[in-house]
Structure 1
Amino acid sequence: MSRAYKFWQLIGVSLAIYSTVAYPQSISVKPDLARGKAIANQVCISCHSAEGSGATGLGPNLAGQHIEYLYKQLGDYKAESSAKAPKRNNPIMASFASVLSEQDMWDVSAYFAALPERLAVAHNKEMAELGQKIWRGGIAERGVPACAACHGPAGAGIPVQYPRLAGQWQDYTIAQLQAFQQGARVNNDPMQAIAERLSEKEIKALADYIAGLR
Structure 2
Amino acid sequence: MTRQRHFSMIRDFQLADWFTLGNAVCGTSAIFAAMRYLQEGGGGGGIRDLMLGMALIPLAFVFDALDGRVARWRKVASTLGRELDSLADVISFGVAPAVLGYACGLQGGWDWVVLSYFVACGVSRLARYNVTAETLADGGDKVKYFEGTPIPSSVAIVLLLAVAAWQGALGDAIWFGQWQLGPWQLHPLVLVYALSGSLMISKTLRIPKP
What range describes the TM-score normalised by the shorter chain of this pair?
Answer: under 0.3
TM-score after normalising by structure 2: 0.27
Structure having the higher helix fraction is 2
Structure having the higher strand fraction is 2
TM-score after normalising by structure 1: 0.27
Structure showing greater radius of gyration is 2
